[in-house]
Amino acid sequence: MKPTNPARLALNTVTVKERWNLRQAIEGCARHGLRGLAVWREDVNALGLAETKKLLDEHRLAVPALIRGGPFPAIDAAARKAAIDDALRGIDEAVAIGAQSLLLVVGGLPAGSRDLAGARAMVRDAIAAMLPHARAAGMKLALEPLHPMFCADKSVITSLEQANDLCDELEGDSSANLGVVIDAYQTWWDPMLEREILRAGRHGRLLGLHLDDWHLAPAHMSLDRGMMGDGVINLPVIRGWMDEAGFTGFHEVELFSANTWWKRDPDEVIEICKQRYATVC
């Protein structure tokens, strides 16, 4: 496995969301020598597209992803169309700030529904409807499979194999505008993870790696992710599979941590991220 390269470490703004706004996050990343920052659409819209792009350029920060497009499943056609239209706007926003991709969190079951196959078909149809605009804009769509515990409410795509299959169905071998993001917290459990990372790499689909860790007994499914090295995930192995598959992008720290990391000073959090990246990852 290649040694860690500090230039590849990026921050997701959610890691410091309780203490810093987007302007502060941009300035903080630059102050700490980070070169990448993944940003959320609501923060960009609050700051403004032009001001966001100006600050990113001034501080020489790349944006591995704008977050997010979705959710797509809905009971009625009007709501499904509204979700697609919003994601199309997300593509344009990603282009405007120079993001490398628009991250898709595709959504779970529509309210009151138990039709899992139907929800997955809605996701497929929504992404198919988005791809022409993404191709014309030169923007990549990044599918992030989530842990199966989120299937009902956040994502009916729960494994990297499913995400790869969807890429095959919609783009075949080319996968020029549709790819995948591997989040350690969401995928570490998967016995097919190595195989599917290598499969994604063969088709040029690897668009991101999210670094976080899994506590033995999370206090909350979504909001108690661990700092790298504080849990049970073998992060060097996953990073090694990504290296082997040809991934050369950013390694992005994404900590949803309501009771721990969100409460700490963001400057301290970033310094710990840097230390753990060098020693754990």
Query: Which tokens sit at 82?
Result: 């509204």
pLDDT of residue 173: 75
d(CA 147, CA 69): 18
Find the range with the poorest average confidence among 97-101, 102-106, 115-119, 216-220: 216-220
CA separation for the pair 182, 239 (Å, rounded): 10
What is the per-residue pLDDT for 1? Answer: 63
Judge contact between 172 and 212, C-beta under 8 A: no
Q: Are 177 and 136 in contact (CB under 8 A)?
A: no
On the question of pLDDT at 115 being above 80, the answer is yes
Mean pLDDT of 243-264: 97
Averaged over 225-236, what is the pLDDT?
A: 97
Domains and CATH numbers, the chain: 6-279 (3.20.20.150)
* Spatial CA neighbour of 139 closest among 106, 94, 200, 103: 94
At position 11, the amino acid (one-letter code) is L
Mean pLDDT of 228-242: 98
Angle at which helix 160-171 crosses helix 116-137, to 10 degrees, equals: 60
Contacts of 163 (CB under 8 A, 6+ apart): 143, 144, 145, 157, 180, 200
The secondary structure of 158-195 as a DSSP string is: -SHHHHHHHHHHHHTTT-SSEEEEEEHHHHTT-TTHHH
- Taking the CB of residue 79, how many other CB atoms lie within 10 A of it? 15
Dihedral over alpha carbons 136, 67, 128, 131 (to 10 degrees): 10
Q: DSSP code of 224? A: B
The reported pTM is: 0.96
Give me the phi and psi of 100, to 5 degrees please.
-85, -20
Residue 221 is encoded by which pair of tokens?
């499914």
Is 112 exposed, middle or buried, given 0-12, 13-18 or 19+ CB atoms closer than 10 A? exposed
Neighbours of 138 (CB within 10 A): 10
Note the pLDDT of residue 233: 98
pLDDT for 174-230, tens place per residue? Answer: 767 999 999 999 999 999 999 999 999 999 999 999 999 999 989 999 999 999 999
Interval 122-179: pLDDT, tens: 999 999 999 999 999 999 999 999 999 999 999 999 999 999 999 999 998 776 799 9
Contact 194, 185 (CB under 8 A): no
Q: Is a pLDDT exceeding 80 seen at residue 235?
A: yes
When pLDDT is averaged across residues 244-261 and rounded to a whole number, the result is 97
* Neighbouring C-alpha atoms within 13 Å toward the C-beta of 276: 20
Percentage, residues of the chain above pLDDT 70: 99
Residue 231 has pLDDT above 70, yes or no: yes
Q: Cα–Cα distances in Å, from 161 out to 41, 167, 182, 186, 201?
A: 28, 10, 11, 13, 13
Q: Using CA atoms, how far apart are residues 14 and 240, in angstroms rounded to an integer?
A: 25
The predicted-structure confidence for 46-77, as pLDDT tens digits, reads as follows: 999 999 999 999 999 999 999 999 999 999 99
Question: Which pair of structure tokens corresponds to residue 178?
Answer: 């549709």
Whether the per-residue pLDDT at 3 is higher than 90: the answer is no
Provide the pLDDT for residue 172: 85
For residue 68, say if its preceding peptide bond is cis, omega within 30 degrees of 0.
Answer: yes
Strand-pair partners of 178: 141
Helix, coil or strand: residue 78: helix
pLDDT at residue 6, as a whole number:
84
